[in-house]
Structure 1
Amino acid sequence: MSAQRHGLGLASGGLIGALGGLVGLGGAEFRLPLLKGMFRLATLEAVIFNKAMSLLVVATALLARSGSIPWAEVGGHGTIILNLLAGSLFGAWFAAGRAIRLPEKVLNTIIMLLLVGLAILLIVEHLHPLTPVGQALLTNPWAQAALGVGAGFFIGVVAALLGVAGGELLIPTIVLLWGVDIKLAGSLSLAVSLPTMIVGFMRYREAAAFGVLGRERGLFLFMALGSMLGATLGGWSLGWVPTDWLVLGLAVILLVSAVKVFKH
């Protein structure tokens, strides 16, 4: 039974990691329904497990994507990263502290609504972009910065509650607010996600459910291996695989997973 469980962890981690590496996501939105449905983890345990896995995937994907999106290009947009971090770090710390104290049914409901909302946002933005490609939504730098901090806070909250990297919100935010190309936005979102998730992860150490990482050590190692291999392959494929259709496909999968696993 444990061998089958570990094999499923390796395969699912590889697939989700590859998709995450391609698009610039941690893939945790799709891992969370699997952890609850297939691997039968309690909600808060699944969130904490997911958060730890997302940290590995994001770090791996960021390194793998550097071949297509150079570090210098990412660093050249450091103001965007800092702007979003100003809100997301506080949002992650705030939300993780609240999630520890929520009853599981309430946390389930919040997670379901957030997953469905993220899916709808992706589909709507993909089919009806709010701004022309390459054009920023705002031109006033002060308004842009204020909206960036506010968006960062909300994204940090979502990332902490779901145990995710938050790329589904970060990428559209970066593209809309600053008019950045979607592939570069993917790398920028990973650079924001990494410290944001670390803050939420440290906050979750106060929860008793944190012990899931020790109890499910085998599953974690196999899923981590698959995730890092998948994220590396996905990141290397960035230069020749179009991402637009992937975003829409991921949104549909996210919507189906959310409804199926959390509808009760």
Structure 2
Amino acid sequence: MKKRNLLLMAALLITAAMFTACEDDEIFDPPTVLTSAGGEIVLAEGVEEYTVEGTVLSDAGVAEIKLLQVTDDGNFQIGNTLTNFENPNSVPYSFTITGITDVMVVKVEATDVEMQTSYSDEITLVYTPIPETHLTDAEEATWQRVGGAAGTGLEEFGLKWTSNVKSMNYAVIAKDEADKFVQLAADAWEEITTLEALEEAVEQADDMNDYREVNVTEAYSEYDDVLATKVGDEYFLILVKSATVDATEDPVIFTINIDYKTAETE
């Protein structure tokens, strides 16, 4: 009987110890992930960067914070994992995303020291492209020089024609008021359709002082040369098509026939 009482007492002590241990194990809620903004965010025109900011609250203490991109193929981490926080119960965070050129969906992931993970609401970032300015349809124009007089029709393009190179038999189409004067590949005439593309092409091409490809000794000659000029805020895409020399007149009349395009205006 005495032995049975001892066994019963031991069982009661073990049970009491188990309950005491369970009471000592505190149960923490998962982290709470707050963001300064959520839902759909439409970026300003041409802006490719956005900073996701907020705070993670955790009674257990935050262990790490990540930024994830949400895709149909799964979630992928963007940037570095944030760890080692001064106050792990309330952690401010900031992630800067660059190179946004379409729609991007992101969310913040936070894990506490109890290995419990929570997520913020999804944030949809919408890139807004800068509106493109189309070039006009091709317009015809002529550059003409009568005898030794200065050429006409070039001023609009920031160019001048005041001489021919006799030893080479070519017209000298020189830069005048143009800020930049370049020659582009022949396919640029068809491929460049917007002001933005023309600006980029002019920026990347080498500046030149003059263009010397038009023969001034042949009665008629054809060309397929593409030029471009920047005159202040205006850009011109120029196609040199043909040239004529009318030696029946005195003085001789030299004519260069071109097409050109510039930015459309409203």
Q: TM-score range by the shorter chain?
A: under 0.3
TM-score (norm 2): 0.22
Larger % of helix: which? 1
The structure, 1 or 2, with the larger RCO (C-alpha pairs under 8 Å, 6+ apart) is: 1
Q: Which protein has the bigger strand share?
A: 2
TM-score by length of 1: 0.22
Please tell me whether Structure 1 or Structure 2 has the larger radius of gyration of its CA atoms: 2
